[in-house]
Structure 1
Amino acid sequence: MEPFVKQVKEGRPVLFTIASWMEQFSELTVGFTSRHGGVSRAPYSTLNCGLHVNDLPEHVVKNRELIAEAIGQPFEAFTYAEQVHGNEVTVVGLQEKGKGRASRESAIQAKDGFITNEKGIVLCAQFADCVPLFFYDPVKRVAGLAHAGWKGSVLNISMATISLMTHTFGSQPADIRAAIGPSIGVCCYEVDETVASRAYKVLTDVKASPKEQLAVITDKGNGKYMLNLQELNRKLLREAGILSSHIEVTQLCTSCSSALFFSHRKEGGPTGRMIAWIGLL
């Protein structure tokens, strides 16, 4: 069953929530935006959340405000970073609350993963094909979010996030729930040998079996490969101690569904960004 459930309300942005998490954990808000229900104009139409893609800043901020209103959380709670396709993860406390929501200059700098145990903070990360990774420890009440493109994936940002949850707040991997959100699928993600070799290396490092490697990388025989970033991250999550039964994986491909999501690869030019969000109420 698809874990990301479409939420459509008249006059509101179209959102996807991890409905099962929010039903089980009433203290949580968590989900992913679409490209519909905002004020941006083409080629960013309409719910662009990225301030770095040359859209009008006032449109981006308005879109972010509309999302906050739709989620039912104050705009001041939404916290953003300048993402750099790395594996640096940081703890977000009350001092960081609201950073980056209205300007890039005020954002948390050079981070791609975030964790918090503070109520009233909504962690946000931006996407247009890369893999959103969601984390929640219901025992210690710690929420996390990571941005995993191919670089962040092979740098094992999932392990970095889980390690920080463990060392900072005492989370146990077996307690943590994880979800892999809408992103470019193996159906659409062709890469070259440079990228494939990096993926092979991380799979070798975690002693992936030939069958597991084949599930992640398909050699097309022409120096090109099809890469399954969702499956790579699922393998790395399991290696970090997350139970298979605690990992949710989307079937939504941002490239196949570019009418619903922004896709940097499919659109091949200027386009917008969705956000993933998670917060403790």
Structure 2
Amino acid sequence: MDAFKQQEPKTPLHFTLSSWDQEEGGITAGFTGRRGGLGTAPYDTLNLAFHVGDDHDTVIHNRRMLAEHLGFTLQDWTCAEQVHGRRIAVIGEMDRGAGSTGRHTAIQDSDGLLTDVPGVLLTSFYADCVPLYFLDPVRGVVGLAHAGWKGTVSGIAEAMVERMNEHYGSRSADIRCAIGPSIGMCCYEVDQVVMDRIAGLQLSRERQERPREPFFEEKGGGKTMLNLKEINRHIMIKAGILADHIECTTWCTSCRNDLFFSYRKDGGVTGRMASWMGIRKR
């Protein structure tokens, strides 16, 4: 069974990270699809991001609907302006609701969010990039990271683990991670410019870091099919995460364009899904 369980059709809560919800009763985590909202083409129907050109009130409606479905409010929705970097923002009570109703109030220049505050609903936005989830059940910390190829090569997964260790006193061996729906190696073709950056990661094929799948597959003509999910899993392990503490989806956003927005499949004009993670108030 996939780590991300598809929910009933026509609900905004499409894919839950069900094992975390079951084992950690106070945690909610998951990933939306493209169905169940109010948007019209090319944002049909559950676009959750302001920056793509969709109607502002429609996005607000979709966000409120998802938040309330999860047991939160729109005022709990907390997000950042993503820049494909590795900056991690620690979210306190005063930051709750940042970016919920407009981009000008969002946490600026951040692709990772961490919190230990109950009632904060962390969110991040995607249309092929890789959503990364982090949970320290010992310290009660949850986090999200947005990893496109730039964030991947900058090591945002490692930066998240380091920030959890430094700020909250987490131990890498306690942290659990998940890798959500994103474009797969089957569909993600890149050029030599990207591969030159990937080469700098010095991906190991030895010991615990041995990949379950190839990191990439050369096609010839300077083109390569790239496996961002597996590369991020490898980076997590090198950062001290136990291999059996990482769950990875098989969903490809490009293959299943009927379920997901895909920047590549939709020609660059499309909506955005959201990853979410939060600690419910007791």
Q: What TM-score, normalized by structure 1, do the two folds share?
A: 0.96
Which residue number corresponds to residue 100 of structure 1?
A: 99
The count of aligned residue pairs is: 278
Q: 1:59-138 maps to which residues of 2 (within 5 A)?
A: 59-138=58-137
How many angstroms does 1:197 deviate by? 1.3
Counting aligned pairs with the same residue, the percent is 47
SS in 2 for 1:147: strand
Distance 1:211 1:106 in 2: 42
Task: Tell me if the contact between 1:158 and 1:236 (Cα under 8 Å) persists in the aligned partners.
Answer: yes
How many angstroms does 1:269 deviate by? 3.1
Which residue number corresponds to residue 176 of structure 1?
A: 175
Which residue number corresponds to residue 258 of structure 1?
A: 257
Q: 1:197-276 maps to which residues of 2 (within 5 A)?
A: 197-202=196-201, 204=202, 207-209=204-206, 212=211, 215-276=214-275
Q: Write the letter of the residue equivalent to 2:271.
A: G
**CA deviations over 1:114-146 (Å, ceiling 9, x no partner):** 111111101100000000000000000100100
Which residue number corresponds to residue 5 of structure 2?
A: 5
Q: 1:150-189 maps to which residues of 2 (within 5 A)?
A: 150-189=149-188
SS in 1 for 2:64: helix
Deviates more, 1:179-188 or 1:72-81: 72-81
Task: Tell me if the contact between 1:90 and 1:113 (Cα under 8 Å) persists in the aligned partners.
Answer: yes
Distance 1:211 1:143 in 2: 27
How many angstroms does 1:13 deviate by? 1.6
How many angstroms does 1:212 deviate by? 4.6
Task: Tell me if the contact between 2:13 and 2:31 (Cα under 8 Å) persists in the aligned partners.
Answer: no
**CA deviations over 1:215-245 (Å, ceiling 9, x no partner):** 1121112100000000000000000011111
Distance 1:104 1:52 in 2: 8
Q: What TM-score, normalized by structure 2, do the two folds share?
A: 0.95
Distance 1:222 1:107 in 2: 42
Distance 1:272 1:128 in 2: 7
Task: Tell me if the contact between 1:200 and 1:213 (Cα under 8 Å) persists in the aligned partners.
Answer: no
Q: Which runs of 5+ in 2 are unaligned?
A: none
Which residue number corresponds to residue 19 of structure 2?
A: 20
Distance 1:248 1:259 in 2: 24
Q: Which runs of 5+ in 1 are unaligned?
A: none
**CA deviations over 1:59-113 (Å, ceiling 9, x no partner):** 1111101111221212211101100000111100011100101100110101000
How many angstroms does 1:208 deviate by? 4.3
Q: Write the letter of the residue equivalent to 1:37.
A: G
Distance 1:212 1:52 in 2: 36
Distance 1:176 1:234 in 2: 13
Q: How much is the aligned-residue C-alpha RMSD, in angstroms? A: 1.5
How many angstroms does 1:185 deviate by? 0.2
